[in-house]
């Protein structure tokens, strides 16, 4: 059971504080913040104890989401609860940041009041909560020229827009009741996180994909949704379907609410999505990627024992395009090369010359690895596709369905 829940900003401001059981001191908040800021790198910071009080915290949106408990609770439960609280806050407030939490603190108190009673989790389902939550979300929209240019497009609700705006999924689910209906939209996202290690000889040493199908639903009512996956989708090693190139994953698990009666034969997921964000399916694939990893690197390192400088310094850089930038980060001993756009099938190059004091032949061992972080839209590494997305009964009017694919780099490392 949970004694207190509080949300702190990264600077330690109290954004939300709720004491459920009155068994812990109020100064627990400052005790926690002192402990968490005094941490050195090697301590396990998820769970901390002070006297007989245990703090469990997660960091999301740059904030500390903390639960304190006096019992030896299940860490999985508390961590999942805090994650869920953050997710619900995001659902209700639109985005997750210090500002949105500050502006909607009354709403978050209301949420907490319904979610937890006397330290016991009551419910976290949006379907149930929406009956109780009365406060309306306050959204902050910074003025931007970009918004102005889009006014015609979205304000007029034209059907020409075939691309979901990137801000579309960051608005509160409970759009103003007065405003008639809001937008009836449903987003189905296939999100894959890629962790790859490529050896210095270009051989793929490790490739893991963690993927999930997420639904973000703004429809007020929706009785059933059918999502069709690739028919040749197979789970595990033994099972092979069809004759084409199989789309294979190692492990796969589904949300409780997903009905799987048509999954075995037709690969169809049936679900009644509730408002807000839900993860319908999670899957993993290790080692056997059906396609080549998205990026390759051809590194050459040359050393030149020339003049000696005393400071490490980036002398010169040659980049293949002017919109790219590169800077030397002495603190991390790294060069950060940012590439705003990377068209498919293209090759970019950069040449960096770095002066290093007291260079020895062994110093070259310290060069590398190269780590890449990227976001690849419209692409999945497993090849998982959504064949169709059907809503029943058919939504009246302007219901819009969006299917999006994106691959993130969880950790993409290339050795040199």
Partner 1 sequence: MPYFGSEETVKDLKRALSNPNVQTDRLRYRNYIIRVIRSMTQGLDVSSLFMDMVKASATVDIVQKKLVYLYMVTYASRKPDLALLAINTLRKDCADPNPMVRGLALRNMCNFRMPGITEYIQQPILSGLRDKASYVRRVAVLGCAKMHSLQPNTEIDPSMVNELYSLLRDPDPVVMVNSLRALEEILRDEGGVVINKPIAHHLLNRLKDLDSWAQSEVLTFLLRYRPRSNDELFDILSLLDDFLHSAHAPVMAATLRLFLHLATAHPAVQADALLRVHGPLLATCGSASRELRFAGLCHVQQVLRSQPALYGNHYKRFFCGYSEPGYIKFRKMEILVELVNDENVALVLEELKSYCTDVSTELAQAAIAAIGRIGRTYNEKCLDILTGLLALKQEHIASAVIQTFRDLVWFCPKSSVAVCKAVEGCDESLQDDEGKQALLWLLGEYGEQISGAPYVLEGFIDSLKVELCSVVKMELLTAAVKLFLCRPAEMQDILGRLLHYCIEEESDMCVRDRALMYYRLLQSGVDETRKVLLGPKSDPSMTVLTGRPEEPVNIWASSFNTLGPLCGTVACLENTSAENSVQQLHSAEEKDGAEEFKLSPPEQTLRTEAIEEELSCIADAAEELNLTMGPPLSHEAFERLWLELQVAHQQALGIPRPAETLETLQAAFQLVKIQTLAFTRTDAVPWKAYMYSRAGGTLILAELLQGAPEESESIGNLLVSVKQQPENQQAIRSFFSVLTNVLQTLSSHGSQN
Subset of 3-22 contacting partner 1 (CB under 8 A): 13-17, 19, 21-22
The yes or no reply on residue 81 touching partner 1 (CB under 8 A) is yes
For tokens 């901390």, what's the residue? 48
What whole-number distance in Å separates Cα of residue 305 and Cα of residue 356?
A: 10
Among 31, 36, 121, 403, binds partner 1 (CB under 8 A): 121
Q: Which is nearer to partner 1, 246 or 416 (CB)?
A: 416
Is the N-terminal amide bond of 312 cis, ω within 30° of 0? Answer: no
Report the residue from 36, 97, 205, 314 that binds partner 1 according to the rule CB under 8 A: 205
CB of 224 to partner 1, least distance (A): 20
Shortest CB 298 distance to partner 1, Å: 19
Does residue number 297 form part of the binding site for partner 1 (CB under 8 A)?
Answer: no
Does 411 engage in binding with partner 1 (CB under 8 A)?
yes
Per 3-state DSSP, the chain is made up of helix, strand and coil in percentages (nearest 5) of 20, 35, 45
Shortest Å, Cβ 83 to partner 1 = 5
Q: Residue for token digits 């020895």?
A: 360
Q: Where are the beta strands (DSSP E) in 237-324?
A: 247-249, 251-254, 268-271, 276-286, 313-319
Of the candidates 26, 66, 63, the one whose C-alpha atom is nearest the C-alpha of residue 46 is: 66
- State which of residues 10, 140, 321, 373 lies at the interface with partner 1 (CB under 8 A): 373
CA dist., res. 302 & res. 65, Å (int): 47
415 touches partner 1 by CB under 8 A: yes
Q: Which is nearer to partner 1, 57 or 185 (CB)?
A: 57
Which residues touch 21 (CB under 8 Å, ≥6 apart)? 1, 2, 3, 4, 118, 119
User: Quick check: 123 binds partner 1 (CB under 8 A)?
Assistant: yes
Per CB under 8 A, the list member of 336, 360, 388, 398 interacting with partner 1 is: 360
Question: Can residue 192 be called a binding residue for partner 1 (CB under 8 A)?
Answer: no
Q: Which is nearer to partner 1, 179 or 366 (CB)?
A: 366
Q: Which range touches partner 1 (CB under 8 A), out of 177-185, 192-200, 375-383, 391-399?
A: 192-200
Toward partner 1, which CB reaches closer, 185 or 189? Answer: 189
* Binders of partner 1 in range 237-276 (CB under 8 A): 250-251, 253-256
Identify whether the C-beta of residue 22 lies closer than 8 Å to the C-beta of residue 68: no
Out of 170, 335, 369, 387, which residue is the one contacting partner 1 (CB under 8 A)? 369
| Ranges within 26-65 binding partner 1 (CB under 8 A) | 30, 40-47, 49, 54, 56-59
For every residue of 68-110, DSSP letters joined together read EESS---HHHHHHHHHHHHHHHHHHHSS-SHHHHHHTHHHHHH
Beta bridge mates, 191: 212, 406
């Amino acid at each position: 059971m949970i004694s207190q829940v509080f949300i702190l900003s990264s600077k330690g401001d109290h954004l939300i504080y709720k004491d459920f059981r009155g068994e812990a001191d109020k100064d627990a908040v400052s005790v926690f913040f002192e402990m968490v800021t005094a941490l050195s790198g090697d301590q396990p910071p998820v769970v901390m104890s002070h006297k007989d009080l245990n703090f469990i915290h997660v960091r999301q949106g740059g904030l500390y989401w903390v639960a304190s408990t006096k019992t030896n609770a299940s860490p999985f439960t508390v961590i999942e609860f805090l994650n869920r609280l953050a997710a619900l806050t995001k659902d209700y407030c639109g985005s997750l940041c210090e500002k949105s939490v500050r502006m909607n603190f009354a709403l978050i108190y209301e949420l907490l009041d319904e979610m937890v009673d006397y330290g016991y989790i009551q419910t976290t389902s949006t379907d149930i909560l929406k009956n109780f939550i009365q406060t309306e979300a306050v959204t902050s929209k910074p003025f931007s020229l970009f918004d102005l240019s889009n006014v015609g497009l979205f304000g007029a609700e034209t059907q020409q827009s075939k691309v979901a705006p990137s801000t579309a999924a960051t608005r509160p689910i409970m759009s103003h009741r007065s405003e008639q209906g809001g937008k009836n939209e449903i987003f189905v996202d296939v999100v894959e996180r890629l962790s790859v290690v490529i050896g210095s000889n270009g051989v793929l040493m490790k490739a893991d994909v963690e993927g999930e199908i997420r639904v973000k639903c703004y429809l007020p009512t929706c009785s059933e949704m059918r999502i069709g996956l690739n028919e040749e989708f197979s789970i595990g090693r033994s099972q092979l379907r069809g004759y084409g190139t199989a789309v294979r994953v190692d492990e796969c698990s589904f949300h409780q609410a997903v009905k799987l009666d048509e999954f075995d034969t037709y690969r169809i997921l049936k679900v009644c999505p509730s408002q807000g964000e839900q993860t319908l399916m999670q899957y993993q694939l290790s080692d056997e990627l059906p396609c080549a990893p998205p990026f390759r690197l051809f590194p050459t390192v040359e050393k030149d024992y020339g003049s000696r400088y005393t400071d490490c310094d980036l002398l010169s850089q040659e980049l293949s395009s002017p919109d790219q930038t590169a800077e030397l980060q002495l603190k991390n001993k790294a060069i950060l090369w940012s590439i705003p756009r990377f068209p498919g099938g293209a090759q970019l190059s950069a040449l960096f010359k770095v002066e290093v004091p007291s260079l020895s032949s062994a110093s070259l061992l310290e060069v590398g690895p190269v780590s890449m972080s990227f976001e690849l839209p419209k692409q999945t590494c497993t090849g998982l596709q959504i064949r169709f997305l059907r809503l029943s009964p058919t939504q009246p009017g302007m219901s819009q369905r969006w299917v999006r694919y994106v691959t993130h780099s969880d950790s993409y490392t290339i050795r040199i």
